[in-house]
Structure 1
Amino acid sequence: MSPRTRMPAVVLALLLSTAALVPAQPARAAVTIPAFYTPPNTLPAADGALIRTEPLPLALSLPGISGPLPGRATRIMYKSTDSTGGPVAITGAYLEPAARWTGGGARPLVVLAPGTMGQGDQCSTSLALQRGLIVGTENNQTTLSVGYEVLAVYRLLAKGIAVVTTDYAGLGTTDRVHTYVNRVDSGHAVLDAARAARALPGTSVTADSRVGLYGYSQGGGAVAAAAELQATYAPEIAVTAGYAGAPPADLTGVVAGIDGSELAGALGWSINGFAQAEPELRPILDAYLTDAGRAVLTRLSTMCVGDAILSYAGKRSSAWTRDGKTLAAVIAAEPALKAFIDDQTIGTRKPSGVIRVATGVFDNLVPHAQARTMAADWCRLGGTVVYDPIVLPWTVSPLLNHFGPLLTDQPTAVDWLTRRLTGTPATSNCASLR
């Protein structure tokens, strides 16, 4: 049975918590979304083709001698292909650095894949770059979104590296629900962002620019997926190196880690996203969800990380189902759902470029073990992998155990990626991974 044949049934099960709750069209966001984010009715044929662009004012910008610091930003919308093989419009941002590139050769390009921002369109990284902190109340809902990825973006710009960020499928664009942690959707979004950046006029990126990938958490999974898909989906985008921090490579393990944590709302985003990708799953969801569970999923579909933590920290998915089953138990009980989840696994294909996989050894939100397993599986497939376990003190908070390494490892990750983009090789430590 092909993955495409298995997907519907499987997701149906996963969406057991989301079937009727996921609307055919996304619910209205808690903040008004600019008209730029509404896709046109007809999309270009080519993946990575630009649909529209406009100047993007940055929330944090200073005047410089030759232009704004850290650079000039452009909001972009580009075409990609989703996991069903259909066309999808994706938004993002390209940032041209004010700093010179001193590493030799053409200025390199890094695709930054954002970490978890939420599922409401107002949570998109391109809007966060413009607004910094998004706080608003509409439709009886308060939203709170912090553009934390600006830290990594500005570190890269300070090195003279051009950056393009993706908002992923359905995050920002108003025509569909964001397909959270969907392996193919996110991998394609990353690779097509590189294509779009190359097509953007008036930049210093050229065909000779080395390409790097950077992401943590959801972004780490997107980078890992893109590295696996590059050879077949975007062979002309040669990936020099990538940083995949704390990637959710095995969703079965991640579901168990997130349930009952501060970020329990991410379970709803996963379910909503799977239902968006595979509408046939919705009837299966109905068999498990209570009316209250459906209401939770609908509400989560318009939330950002901040509001989800405030509203659902510590909640368990068992409260959403009729028989009290957790989402992990539902997945185990439904072969179709398990098959869909298995198809999302990252680590089954050789990655392109050298990839640094870093994960906190005490990360129990996006469990350390499953990320390390992905790195080891890549090694067995002949990939060039640098595995780096991050040791920080254990805390009682899974959220801190997960986001601590994001901050402490970021300078190292940016420096490591910069060296690869100068042409300095990295030595794989696959021999240390069993």
Structure 2
Amino acid sequence: MSIFTPRSVVATSALTAALLALAPAAATADEHDIPGTAGAATLTGTPEPPRPAFYDPPAEIPTTPGTIIRQEKADNVLDPLDVTSASFDARRVMYASQDREGRPIAVTGFVVSPRATWLGKGPRPIISFSVGTQGMGDSCAPSRQLRDFTEYEILAFKGLLLRGYAVALTDYEGLGTPGSHTYMVRAAQGQAVLDMARAAQRVGVRGLSAANPIGLMGYSQGGGGAAAAAELASSYAPELDIKGTAVGAVPADLSSAVPRKLDGSLYSAFELYAIVGLFQGYHVDPAAFLNARGLAVLPKVEQSCTQKLADLAFVRTSTLTKDGRPMHDSFAEEPLRSILTDNRIGNRKPSSPVLLTHSMADDVIPFSVGKQLAKDWCAKDATVWFQPLVTPTHVGGALPTATYAGTFFEARFRGDKATGNCAVR
């Protein structure tokens, strides 16, 4: 199933052709180089640590997105002693999705649903929850971290469960499964979020079926994943009944302000994650741009988790490149510039009403990026409520976003007419 229109097929073909000269020799020749498939290699070819057998994809992956490949009981999701399993049905799942080029991949995640009868209007809502930056290593996958009780996103989605919603949370392409995680690749992230919703409807949890309404939610990387899903839904998953999308601190445009903010900062790991993710997703050979030091640091990036953010802090990419320029300078030129253009969020109209938040003092993704996204969506006649936040810092905007999202979803699932504030932007 292709998500591309005829015009975008031409653009994507041109981008692919432009990148061929930069691609490693085997990047497109061997199906095992596709993250999320059996035996996939990482961008650097560095062997990955052993993973639990559940996370190894089968040799043949179903071609119908959202198909359940396997599932198991997920313990320790809400408490270390698993006491709350009496109140919630939690499943770890592997399901079929697609990479940005439409090739079948396996993605892992989990589904959690209250056991109590849903008393609201219609069937129980499902929130397809797109997680914020976890890192790049397989051990960073949220479905694995939940078992170890180290997943910070529990602070946001636990409130959704207490409202009676089911929550479906994706690990994204290559996070947990073989190959490098395609961090910041718009199509791969958005499709994983939509196929996670499809998988939740098919997992066999009591009360979940194709009749359940869907909400999309995420913050930071998760905001990008959910926003991309909202833009792709009408063409990629038109059968899903998506009532609303709540996103915050969306990294909608990586072309200038975001990398300049990250380079050499406490959060420089995020820029390094994006380099690996985008190079992996677009078959770019790192040796075309990075010097020996840069190539040596990439295996460390591939195994990094955000709990050890300091290990990659304050890195200036100019020290890693062959020409001594920061990587955002190379991404401002072809052929890498087309990659950022392809991953810009805001070029498509979201399929549902949107709540968009952004801290005015965000120290990772500048407020101007969120404000521009609101303008872009408003220009396409989308129903958008843009909510600036006064809570400082990137991390500080997360919990207020979750609070606003709870109120937003209550109204959407009641069937209230959505209102926007585009007229006052």
Q: How does 1:61-140 map to 2 (within 5 A)?
A: 61=79, 68=85, 71-133=88-150
Q: Which residue of 2 aligns with 1:360?
A: 359
Q: Which residue of 1 aligns with 2:5?
A: none
Q: Which residue of 1 aligns with 2:218?
A: 215
Output the CA distance in 1 between the equivalents of 2:45 and 2:351: 34
Whether contact under 8 Å (2:201, 2:212) holds in the other structure is: no
- The sequence identity of aligned pairs, in percent, is 37
Output the CA distance in 2 between the equivalents of 1:367 and 1:379: 19
Whether contact under 8 Å (1:11, 1:275) holds in the other structure is: no
Q: CA deviation at 1:117?
A: 0.2
2:405 aligned with 1:431, yes or no?
no
**1:172 aligned to which of 171, 176, 193:** 176
Output the CA distance in 2 between the equivalents of 1:202 and 1:70: 13
TM-superposition CA deviations, 1:303-343 (whole Å, max 9, x none): 10122x221212211111133210111112x3110011111
Equivalent position SS for 1:251: coil
| Mean CA deviation greater in 406-415 or 71-80 | 406-415
Q: Which residue of 2 aligns with 1:151?
A: 155
TM-superposition CA deviations, 1:31-72 (whole Å, max 9, x none): x421100101101120111111111102433777xx726512
Q: Which residue of 1 aligns with 2:35?
A: none
Amino acid in the other structure paired with 2:378: C
TM-superposition CA deviations, 1:273-315 (whole Å, max 9, x none): 1222222x21xx32331111111112110110122x2212122
2:294 aligned with 1:293, yes or no?
yes
Whether contact under 8 Å (1:14, 1:331) holds in the other structure is: no
Aligned length: 398
Q: CA deviation at 1:25?
A: 7.0
Whether contact under 8 Å (1:242, 1:353) holds in the other structure is: yes
Q: Which residue of 2 aligns with 1:345?
A: 344
Q: Which residue of 1 aligns with 2:401?
A: 409
Output the CA distance in 1 between the equivalents of 2:357 and 2:379: 18
Whether contact under 8 Å (1:181, 1:270) holds in the other structure is: yes
Amino acid in the other structure paired with 1:97: P
Q: How does 1:367-386 map to 2 (within 5 A)?
A: 367-386=366-385
Q: Which residue of 2 aligns with 1:204?
A: 207
Amino acid in the other structure paired with 1:55: K
Output the CA distance in 2 between the equivalents of 1:36 and 1:63: 20
Q: Which residue of 2 aligns with 1:18?
A: none
2:15 aligned with 1:6, yes or no?
yes
Q: Which residue of 2 aligns with 1:50?
A: 68
**1:274 aligned to which of 273, 278, 285:** 278
Q: Which residue of 2 aligns with 1:143?
A: none
Equivalent position SS for 2:128: strand
Q: Which residue of 1 aligns with 2:329?
A: 329
| Mean CA deviation greater in 348-357 or 419-428 | 419-428
Output the CA distance in 2 between the equivalents of 1:354 and 1:36: 36
2:50 aligned with 1:35, yes or no?
no
Output the CA distance in 1 between the equivalents of 2:21 and 2:42: 15
Equivalent position SS for 1:90: strand
| Mean CA deviation greater in 249-258 or 117-126 | 249-258
TM-superposition CA deviations, 1:127-179 (whole Å, max 9, x none): 1111112xxxxxxxxxxxxx1111112111101001100000000112x1100
Q: Which residue of 2 aligns with 1:139?
A: none
Whether contact under 8 Å (1:47, 1:79) holds in the other structure is: yes
Q: CA deviation at 1:364?
A: 3.4
Q: CA deviation at 1:408?
A: 3.1
Equivalent position SS for 2:394: helix
Superposition RMSD in Å: 2.1
Equivalent position SS for 1:342: helix
Q: CA deviation at 1:26?
A: 5.9
Output the CA distance in 2 between the equivalents of 1:344 and 1:82: 14
> Structure 1's 245 and 3: CA in aligned 2 closer, same or farther, altered over 3 A?
same
Q: CA deviation at 1:407?
A: 2.2
Amino acid in the other structure paired with 1:71: F
> Structure 1's 405 and 336: CA in aligned 2 closer, same or farther, altered over 3 A?
same
Q: CA deviation at 1:28?
A: 4.2
Q: What TM-score results when the alignment is normalised by the length of structure 2? A: 0.89
> Structure 1's 361 and 310: CA in aligned 2 closer, same or farther, altered over 3 A?
same
Equivalent position SS for 2:265: coil
Q: Which residue of 2 aligns with 1:138?
A: none
Whether contact under 8 Å (2:137, 2:304) holds in the other structure is: yes
Q: What TM-score results when the alignment is normalised by the length of structure 1? A: 0.87
> Structure 1's 266 and 12: CA in aligned 2 closer, same or farther, altered over 3 A?
farther
Output the CA distance in 2 between the equivalents of 1:172 and 1:63: 22
> Structure 1's 239 and 288: CA in aligned 2 closer, same or farther, altered over 3 A?
same
> Structure 1's 339 and 99: CA in aligned 2 closer, same or farther, altered over 3 A?
same
Whether contact under 8 Å (2:77, 2:90) holds in the other structure is: no
Output the CA distance in 1 between the equivalents of 2:100 and 2:111: 24
Output the CA distance in 2 between the equivalents of 1:63 and 1:122: 21
Amino acid in the other structure paired with 1:33: R
